[in-house]
A and B are shown apart, each in its own frame.
Chain A
Amino acid sequence: MNKTIKYKINAKAILVMSYLLVAVFLITGCANDDTQTVANFTKLVLQDEFDTDGALNNAIWNYEIGTGENGWGNNELQYYTDRTENITVQNDVLIITARKESFNGSSYTSARIITKGEQAYGRYEARIRLPYGQGIWPAFWLLGADCGPAVIWPQCGEIDIMEYRGQEPTTIHGSVHGNGFSGGEAITKSYSLLNDRFDTGFHVFGIEWAPEYINYYVDDVLYNQITPADVPGEWVFDHPFKIIINLAVGGSFVGAPNIETIFPQTMLIDYVRVYKK
């Protein structure tokens, strides 16, 4: 019984202290009116929980095969395949595996998938455990559905929900690309975990994209908002986009793998969900 009493005393002390803290917090919080709401859109319109072992759901996804042009525009080193060695669904997760192997003239293999459907605006969210190591470049991103010879990149628009350098295991990057702000000049904000990293557990990466803004969040933390006023060019984010998930090896964003990079590396995707308002 003594123990209980003692605990109660402690609890009271803590309570008093936390009242004080809350009071201070509320004053500043109210003054700036920046109450944080991570996401507002709740109507689920697309969902892949990856709960059927084996191949990808081909009603939702297409594979993108090969090396694209000039390593998918980034001097990436991998050859994307649809082989189970590179992409498979097991134990309720989508597994994308980057391997070091000679394949059709490339030194690495991996996978890249793109949605068949497209949508303008919405909340896009995926729960992912990332790989690690120098030269490893996974991404969860949106690309303008009209990208092609008629509307060339970056005019078609690109929204990077999550990009990550394997050599920086605690940091991800969220970006938008358009005319005048693409590649190295993209509008980007980085988000770093304190006392945790992205390759040891699953984290939720999401954006909420409306005509007036794109909000970026990781888990329950809203870390950036990009509005038309923030981009030094045309706001090219008012038309349908497709979702791409890929695991690149090498390329201009990360540099090549080195002797310490361990292969294979796996990117685990627990789910992809898309919401409308």
Chain B
Amino acid sequence: MKTIKNSYLKITLLLGVIFITTISCEREVSEDIEFATFPKNDEVFVDGFSGGLQYWPFGGSKLDAFSVDNETKYQGSASMRFDVPNYGDPEGAYAGAVFPDATGRDLSDFDALTFWAKASQASTINEIGFGADFEENKYLVTKQNLRISTNWQKYTIPIPDAYKLTLEKGMFWYAEGPDENGNGYSFWIDELKFEKLGTIAQPQPAIFDGEDVVLKSFTGAIIEITGTQTFNLASGINETVSAAPSYFTFSSTDPDVARVSELGIVSIVGAGSAKITASLGGVKAKGSLNVEVSGTFETAPVPTRNPSDVISIFSDTYTNVPVDFFNGYWEPYQTTQSTNFTVDGNNMISYTDFNFVGNQFANPTVNATEMPNLHLNMYIPDEVPANMDFLITIVDFGADGAEGGGDDTREQVFFDKAIWTANTWITLEFPITLANKNNIGLIIYENINFSSLKNFYLDNIYFYK
């Protein structure tokens, strides 16, 4: 039976797959079983789309940025042409696409994606690589800032670990925007294929850019690992690409403190300290993550005021009024990033890279005439900077109920440095002394006098009487 099965396999792969399945069902698996493999086709685009290759532009990109060019080519009859739009092009802000093969291919015999490229002007392609399939992007590989010139030149994007790629759909992808002057340009790619160069060597994988990162954290926190792979090429040049976490094998010195998934997600699960390290293809990665977990994150004190005495902006205890945003991003000066996080069902706002930030609730504004005090809980992780100087501004939008319009009034409340303590929730309560407080729409938090506070959490922001 086995011999017959093999003969059919020679006829067509598809039939062969069916036969294997059928026979496997009928008989127990023998040790001689031959697994069906996926095509090992090396060509992506040589003089046209290789079998199975598709073109899927990114949403928001210029959909027709890609075309097949029969005039300009490195060799053969055609190349891939990419027209990067000018700034403000209504058809799309950038050029970018994924070229998947829906069947998938076995790339495990190759060690690099190679191509010849040139551009209408010397330029730097933002991102280019393979492994993007509009699915998991599990084995995404990206070369950032690939410099190309106006002459045809061969480029090599090494595969971080080809053994992983027994079924890969993402053959090629790229994303590139206008140049620094806002001008679009064109570039061409030809002879795009996977190769076994045999000269991709001396791997130097790294996580966290090769740094040994030390992080104070708490139970429930999530940290994402980023990794790179560097190979020495035949040219002697070290080529570094971003490699998706799935190329790596992670380990934690204490899984009771921190666990790592194969997708590179570190979950903090208990108190203590743990070191996360990684390897890629059996080579230890440079860089690590040391987490020091003080234990379960202390949530802010649960408010005890009667709900009828409170107008709540942000709290799990009370019903909150509609809020426009907790982080109005005021360009270009604001650096603050915000994330909401949850510990044991209690939501908190986390601000990082803080310089200033606002909470706006103008639709409708809050009438705090009967609730003339503000309460909030604030938590500064790690340490309070020595130059801490903090200002909270309450803005009443006036009769027009909108910011500006000449009728806004504001109250500035400065806080003495002495009140701050790190790694604990402190409670700020103060009366609002604005003459009119019936159209309050904005609370602004800011560093002043070069205060270097970077990170803090907020909870239980409410007006009360």
Binding site for B on A (CB under 8 A): 1-3, 6, 132-134, 165-170, 193-197, 199-200, 260, 262
Contacts and interface: CB of A to CB of B under 8 A. Distances in A.
Given A6-B10, A167-B236, A195 B198 contact: yes
Given A132-B202, A196-B198, A199-B202, A168 B6 contact: no
B164 interface: no
Given A134-B236, A200-B202, 6 more contacts: A6-B10, A168-B236, A169-B234, A195-B197, A196-B198, A197-B201
Interface of B: 3-4, 6-7, 10, 196-199, 201-202, 204, 232, 234, 236, 238
Contacts of B4: 2
Contact of A169 (B6, B10, B201): B201
A193 B204 CA distance: 23
Most B CB contacts (10 A, CB to CB) among A6, A167, A197, A262 go to A197
A144 to B, nearest CB: 32
Contact of A196 (B10, B199, B202, B232): B199
Given A132-B232, A197-B234, A260-B238, A169 B7 contact: no
Nearest to B198: A195
A1 B236 CA distance: 50
Contact of B10 (A3, A166, A170, A200): A3
5 contacts: A3-B6, A132-B202, A194-B198, A196-B198, A197-B199
Contact of A199 (B6, B10, B201): B201
B185 to A, nearest CB: 30
Contacts of A1: 3
B3 A169 contact: no
A58 B6 CA distance: 61
Contacts of A168: 236
Q: A-B pairs with the 5 shortest C-beta distances? A: A2-B7, A195-B198, A167-B236, A3-B6, A200-B201
Most B CB contacts (10 A, CB to CB) among A166, A167, A169 go to A169
Contacts of B10: 2-3, 6
Given A169-B201, A195-B197, A6 B7 contact: yes
B198 A169 contact: no
Contacts of A199: 201-202, 232
A262 B236 CA distance: 13
Nearest to B199: A197
B196 A169 contact: no
Contacts, number: 49
Given A6-B10, A134-B236, A197-B234, A170 B3 contact: no
A133 B10 CA distance: 46
Contacts of A132: 201-202, 232, 236
Contacts of B199: 169-170, 193, 195-197
Contacts of A2: 3-4, 6-7, 10
A2 B6 CA distance: 8
A167 B235 CA distance: 7
Most A CB contacts (10 A, CB to CB) among B4, B236, B238 go to B236
B234 A170 contact: yes
Contacts of B3: 1-3
A169 B197 contact: no
A57 to B, nearest CB: 31
Most A CB contacts (10 A, CB to CB) among B198, B204, B234 go to B234
Contacts of A196: 198-199
Nearest to A170: B234
Contacts of A262: 202, 204
A195 B201 contact: no
A1 to B, nearest CB: 6
B156 to A, nearest CB: 13
Contacts of B6: 2-3
B281 to A, nearest CB: 14
A260 B10 CA distance: 49
Contacts of B201: 132, 169, 197, 199-200
Contacts of A3: 3, 6-7, 10
A52 to B, nearest CB: 30
Nearest to A165: B236
A197 B201 CA distance: 8
Contacts of B202: 132, 199-200, 262
A196 B111 CA distance: 12
Nearest to A194: B198
Contacts of A197: 198-199, 201, 234
Contacts of B196: 195
Contacts of A165: 236
Nearest to B204: A262
Contacts of A169: 199, 201, 232, 234, 236
Contacts of A195: 196-199
A166 B202 CA distance: 12
A6 B3 CA distance: 12
A200 B199 CA distance: 9
A231 B456 CA distance: 76
B239 to A, nearest CB: 11
A3 B9 CA distance: 9
A277 B417 CA distance: 90
Contacts of A6: 7, 10
Nearest to A131: B202
A132 to B, nearest CB: 6
A81 B357 CA distance: 62
A199 B202 CA distance: 8
Contacts of A170: 199, 234
A233 B238 CA distance: 41
Nearest to B9: A3
A201 to B, nearest CB: 10
A193 B197 CA distance: 11
A117 to B, nearest CB: 36
A193 B198 CA distance: 10
Contacts of B238: 260
A134 B7 CA distance: 53
B186 to A, nearest CB: 33
A166 B3 CA distance: 51
A92 B18 CA distance: 51
A197 B204 CA distance: 17
Nearest to B6: A3
A195 to B, nearest CB: 4
A169 B202 CA distance: 11
B445 to A, nearest CB: 42
Contacts of A166: 236
A21 B204 CA distance: 43
